[in-house]
Amino acid sequence: MNDQEHIALADRWSAHNYHPLPVVLSHGAGAWMTDVNGRRYLDLLAGYSALNFGHRHPALVAAAKEQLDRLTLTGRAFHHDQFGPFCRELAELTGTEMVLPANSGAEAVESAVKIARKWAYQVKGVPEGAAEIVVAGDNFHGRTTTIISFSTDPEARDEFGPFTPGFTVVPYGDAEALRAAITGNTAAVLLEPIQGEAGVVVPPKGYLTEVRQICDDTNTLFVADEVQSGLARTGATLALDHEGVRADLYAVGKALGGGILPVSAVIGRADVIGVLKPGEHGSTFGGNPMACAVGRAVVRLLATGEFQERSRELGAYLHSRLSELDGVAEVRGRGLWASVEIAEGRTAGRSVSEALAERGVLCKEFHSTLRVAPPLVITRSEIDFGVDAIAGVLGGGHRG
């Protein structure tokens, strides 16, 4: 079938909860993808950080193929030989003490919410049913009913209620508002160290340190959603590492599956995750042999430090190049993760992504911004190719 036939088939038979660009991809390698017509595109989205190691990284594909020939699923009613090593290696990489494997990022966040509430009742002494969690405005933690209950995005919330209670929303980056919102019933503060869907928003310097202090002062858990920001995307294994701050719980995912299958986890303090007892929480596919084998291969790649270094060095180059472009009002982000704020009066919105696709670059727009988050295997020359395409679409060159 040609691309138009594929698009027509998807339009007829799939739910219309996405509005993809009119490109039908069939192959990928490194930072590049190829469509059904044989045209190649530079990937500047990387599956929202799920493809940190690029498409079909040889070490990850090899791990998946080897495990496919051995064992793919057991359920958690039994042990398997990949589970314990995966949990230990992920904990050692991240400097945490215990791992609860899951599948999607949203599932990891939901699991962290459950753990925090259980801890509040068992350890902090919050009355049953009264636990509260403080979150930030403009957050994005997933699409489940509980998570959208504390979203401030009308598109995520409208006509999906009634909503789950127990959440208080404060402005992101405002430590005083956060402190004022905490009560004796507060179980946790749940934040993204860098807000992804809000436009790759980096909080004010010192904010995350203040969050940690506020949580310490009030016997409240700090839960960091590192599903997008974690696993080398920002130039450190975890984005909180840049601030020298430790969370009590982290939600990680996306890149943990190596772009091959969904793998996520809640990681953190053993005395917090340890409140869970048999039968209180579970997942049929969470921690399955395939997921653990690929996850272990991901951890081995991260343990070398190569990808963290690539994100730091190439990220600085990417930000420098983007900041030089005419038509750019601001560049936000950290590492190989940038949000380009398009200047007023310049072309913005979906038409920018469509024009970039015509130039062989796949990216994602959001209102007046352009999200640039390539696989960490990208090279300088490939960054130049992508930035030059953006310059051409914005209708300007470089600032003098």
Give the model confidence (pLDDT) of 373-395 as tens digits. 999 999 999 999 999 999 999 98
Of residues 167, 192, 189, the one with CA closest to residue 178? 189
> Are 375 and 30 contacting, i.e. CB atoms less than 8 angstroms apart?
yes
Instruction: Assess whether 277 carries a catalytic annotation.
Output: no
Question: Is 283 within the bounds of a domain?
Answer: yes
Among 257, 275, 303, the domain-final residue is: 303
Nearest-Å Rg of the Cα atoms of the chain is: 21
Provide the pLDDT for residue 367: 83
Residues 220 and 76 in one domain: yes
Question: What burial class does residue 6 get, using C-beta atoms within 10 Å of its C-beta: 0-12 exposed, 13-18 middle, 19+ buried?
Answer: middle
Asked if residue 400 has pLDDT above 90, the reply is: no
Global model pTM greater than 0.85 = yes
Number of domain units in the chain: 2
Q: What angle do CA 245, 195, 399 make, to 5 degrees?
A: 110
pLDDT category at 398 given cuts 50, 70, 90 is low
Alpha-carbon distance 67 to 296, whole Å? 12
Q: How far apart are CA 33 and CA 361, in angstroms?
A: 10
| Choice among 118, 254, 285, 307 that is catalytic | 254
Mean pLDDT of 38-57: 98
Give the DSSP H or E segment for 309: helix 306-323
Classify residue 39: in a domain, yes or no. yes
Q: What mean pLDDT value characterizes the chain?
A: 97
Containing domain of residue 193, as a range? 58-303
pLDDT, tens only, 157-190? 999 999 999 999 999 999 999 999 999 999 999 9
Q: Are residues 252 and 318 in the same domain?
A: no
Sort 169 into a burial class: Cβ within 10 Å, 0-12 / 13-18 / 19+: middle
Rounded CA-CA distance 390/363 in Å is: 10
Q: Is residue 221 part of a domain?
A: yes
Q: How many other C-beta atoms lie within 10 A of the C-beta of residue 269?
A: 17
In a domain, 399, yes or no: no
Q: Are residues 126 and 273 in the same domain?
A: yes
pLDDT, tens digit, for every residue of 291-348? 999 999 999 999 999 999 999 999 999 999 999 999 999 999 999 999 999 999 898 8
158/291 same-domain check = yes
Is residue 400 a part of any domain in this protein?
A: no
Q: Assess whether 198 and 330 both reside in one domain.
A: no
Q: What is the CATH number of the domain that holds 271?
A: 3.40.640.10
pLDDT of 92:
98
Query: Which are the contacts of 274, defined by CB distance < 8 A and separation ≥ 6?
Result: 98
Please pick, among 86, 140, 150, 222, the residue that the annotation labels catalytic.
Answer: 140
* Bridge pairing between strands 264-268 and 361-362: unpaired
Cα distance between residue 213 and residue 226, in whole Å: 19
What tokens appear for 67 in the block?
């495990």
25-29: strand order across its sheet: 25-29, 32-35, 40-43, 361-362
**Region at 342 (left for phi over 0; alpha for psi -120 to 50; beta for the rest):** beta
pLDDT of residue 202: 98
H or E stretch including 333? Answer: strand 328-333
Rounded to 5°, the CA angle 256-262-266 comes to: 60
Which CATH number characterizes residue 49's domain? Answer: 3.90.1150.10
Structure token pair of residue 371: 């999200």
Asked which of 303, 324, 339 is the last residue of a domain, the reply is 303
189 and 129, same domain (yes or no): yes
Q: Look up 254 and say whether it is catalytic.
A: yes
Mean pLDDT over 142-169 rounds to: 97
Q: How many Å apart are CA 217 and CA 119, to the nearest integer?
A: 17
Q: Which residue has the tokens 């860098």?
A: 194
Q: Which residues contact 304 (CB under 8 A, 6 or more apart)?
A: none
- Residue 265 pairs with which residues in a beta bridge? 101, 252
Q: Which of 281, 303, 325 is the last residue of a domain?
A: 303
Which residue type occupies 125? Answer: G
- Are residue 207 and residue 143 in the same domain, yes or no? yes
Omega before 162 within 30 of 0, i.e. cis: yes
Band of residue 286 on the pLDDT scale cut at 50, 70, 90: very high
Looking at the structure, do residues 284 and 331 belong to the same domain, yes or no?
no
pLDDT at 105 over 90: yes
Query: Please, which residues have CB within 8 angstroms of residue 195's CB and are 6 or more apart in sequence?
Result: 136, 138, 139, 140, 172, 201, 203
d(C-alpha 365, C-alpha 352), whole Å = 7
Catalytic residue from among 35, 43, 225, 248? 225
Domain match, 73 and 28 both: no
Instruction: Give the three-class secondary structure for 7.
Output: helix
